[in-house]
Every structure is written in structure tokens, then in C-alpha cells.
């Protein structure tokens, strides 16, 4: 499932404070985005229509819960980027991400550890 930048903001607010009302989402994202309440409601409706959120009425208030986990959404976004930009190949993406970057010694060690754990898990 592909999410726009605006949809990511709304989903992050719902993941962080689930379940959430439109007012709670607005309180989470309003200062950064300048969105009106109606904009948040439109985004929540769009995400519900996409299947990313579920909606339940509690009295007169719609309450939204995630139907996809943050991890699943992240995996889908990275997979989509990998497929579009790197033809699905992980090594060129990792090379691109590390070439010319200022990886700290701790970052390099963490990457080595992750690769070693992956190798050990594949055996």
C-alpha cells in the first residue's frame, strides 16, 4: 500500500495514539502541518477507503484504528522504492546509501552485526 507524505503523518499519529479521533490526530499534526479539522477528516476518510484504517462510531465520534502495522507500511514503502529505483536489487541500494555518506563507526558496526545475524539465520 502506497501512502503519500501527508498520509504518513496521519498514520504516524494514529499508530502513536491508537485508537484516535480526528481531533486527536489534528492535535498531533496540526502544529506541523497547519491543517484544518476538515483536512484531517478528509485524510482519515481516504485512509479508511484505502484499507489502512478502520473506523468505528462511539456515540457521535468516529474512532480510527490502524489496519496495517507501522512495520508493514515501512516494509511496503522500502520495497516499492527498491523496486522502482534499484530494480529490486538490495546491494545497489545499500551501496548508494553508504557511498559518500558519513557513517559513524557505530553505524558501520551495527550494519556489520545485522549482516552477520542475517548470515547466521540463513544457515
Give the DSSP per-residue string, 83-102: HHHHTT-HHHHHHHHHTT--
In the CATH scheme, what is the code of domain 5-66? 1.10.10.10
**Crossing angle between the packed helical segments 5-16 and 22-33, to the nearest 10 degrees:** 130
CA distances from 75 to 1, 28, 47, 59, 98 (A): 10, 24, 18, 35, 20
Q: What is the pTM of this model?
A: 0.82
Task: Work out the average pLDDT over 22-30.
Answer: 96
Residue 84 sits at φ, ψ, to 5 deg, of -70, -45
Whole-angstrom distance, CA of residue 33 vs CA of residue 101: 30
pLDDT in tens, 97-116: 888 778 888 988 998 899 89
Model confidence at 121, pLDDT cuts 50, 70, 90, reads: confident
> Is residue 96 predicted with pLDDT exceeding 90?
no
User: Where are the chain's structural domains?
Assistant: 5-66, 70-122
Task: Work out the average pLDDT over 38-46.
Answer: 97
Amino acid at each position: 500500500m502506497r501512502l503519500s507524505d501527508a498520509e504518513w503523518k496521519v498514520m504516524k499519529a494514529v499508530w502513536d495514539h491508537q485508537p484516535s479521533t480526528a481531533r486527536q490526530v489534528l492535535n498531533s499534526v496540526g502544529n506541523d502541518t497547519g491543517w484544518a479539522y476538515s483536512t484531517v477528516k478528509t485524510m482519515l476518510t481516504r485512509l479508511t477507503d484505502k484499507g489502512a484504517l478502520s473506523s468505528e462510531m462511539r456515540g457521535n465520534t468516529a474512532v480510527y484504528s490502524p489496519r496495517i502495522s507501522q512495520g508493514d507500511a515501512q516494509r511496503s514503502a522500502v520495497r516499492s522504492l527498491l523496486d522502482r529505483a534499484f530494480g529490486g536489487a538490495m546491494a545497489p541500494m545499500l551501496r548508494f546509501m553508504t557511498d559518500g555518506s558519513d557513517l559513524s563507526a557505530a553505524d558501520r558496526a551495527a550494519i556489520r552485526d545485522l549482516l552477520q545475524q542475517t548470515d547466521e539465520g540463513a544457515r
